Amino acid sequence: MIFKTFIKRLFPRSFDNEIYNLRPKDLIIRKSSNHGGFKFGLSLLIIIFLFAIFGPIILDVSPYEQDLTKRLLPPVWKEGGSWEYIFGTDGNGRDYFARILYGTRISLTIGFGAACVGMIIGVSLGVCAGYFGGWVDQVVSYLLTCQLALPGLLLAMTIVFLIGPSITVVIFVIGATHWAFFLVVSRSATQKIKSLDYVTAASAIGASKFQIIIRDIIPNTFSQIIVIFTLEVGIAILNEASLSFLGVGIQPPTPSWGLLIAEGKEAIFFQPWLIILPGIALFTLVVSINMMGDGLRDITDPNSKVSEE
């Protein structure tokens, strides 16, 4: 309710009674303010983003400062915890709350960055394969088979090992091994759209192939791609966690959630929060992204039946 009134005040025109005369943007705003899942996911994601950006600036905490006399302190709700270290400390006596906070930045950067890289590779290959067909399609399909046959994590590990780990390398490596979904979905969507009359009409009015791809085909695959995108953001974040866990992702002492879990695994029986807390953070982020993605698909699809009142 609060969200809706807020949005109504921001964009009064979107809530005119005459729905037929709404501009395209207004219709999307109106639809999004009625979609529960989208609102929940987006709000959660915005909160996480705000935490990641402003948290370290406002709260004066450092994820690197060690104090070996204060090793493995429990979080505040456990016996012996204190407000000084809300989430306790890790094995080196570093503030665990600060480490998770800084880890959010890493996870968000890698998740969205890698998904973008994967989307650019997958969608451009998929749309070309679907639109041009013939030998282009065969070459792309062959590439896809190769990609699917290679064990992704192993490949990523090898590449990171050879080039040397850094955030940029991890982003590109995860992106370069996660475009198969994008390709498959955009290729089949393109094949379907290519045969529709409006594409034929576009070529009849003299639009070039490039214009048709940009104006007619890609916007119409958007609602399917957005779902894959949010899925891949989640997968990339988890992938980074696995790489870091295995020691070829983010290098210590930089805090990443995967690394935190890796470091905490020795203490799993006695200090389980070292694993549970970054785990909860991972889960929340991935769920919020997926809910938002699902909502975005419903909203951007002009044929969807989201109520418009």
Query: E strands, the chain, where?
Result: none
Binding site for other proteins (CB under 8 A): 20-24, 27, 196-198, 200-208, 211, 215-216, 219-220, 222, 302-303, 307, 309
Q: How far is the CB of 122 from other proteins (least distance, A)?
A: 20
Q: Which two tokens stand for residue 289?
A: 């992204």
Q: How far is the CB of 27 from other proteins (least distance, A)?
A: 7
Minimum CB distance to other proteins smaller for 78 or for 215: 215
Minimum CB distance to other proteins smaller for 140 or for 218: 218
- Locate tokens 């198969």: which residue? 180
Q: How far is the CB of 220 from other proteins (least distance, A)?
A: 6
Q: How far is the CB of 287 from other proteins (least distance, A)?
A: 27
The burial of 142, by beta-carbon neighbours within 10 Å (0-12 exposed, 13-18 middle, 19 or more buried), is given as: exposed
Minimum CB distance to other proteins smaller for 20 or for 269: 20
164: left (phi over 0), alpha (psi -120 to 50) or beta: left
CA distance 97 to 87: 5
Minimum CB distance to other proteins smaller for 69 or for 307: 307
Q: How far is the CB of 200 from other proteins (least distance, A)?
A: 6
Contact, 158 vs 198, CB < 8 A? Answer: no
Q: Which two tokens stand for residue 309?
A: 């009142």
Minimum CB distance to other proteins smaller for 117 or for 217: 217
Contact, 111 vs 49, CB < 8 A? Answer: no
CA distance 306 to 230: 20
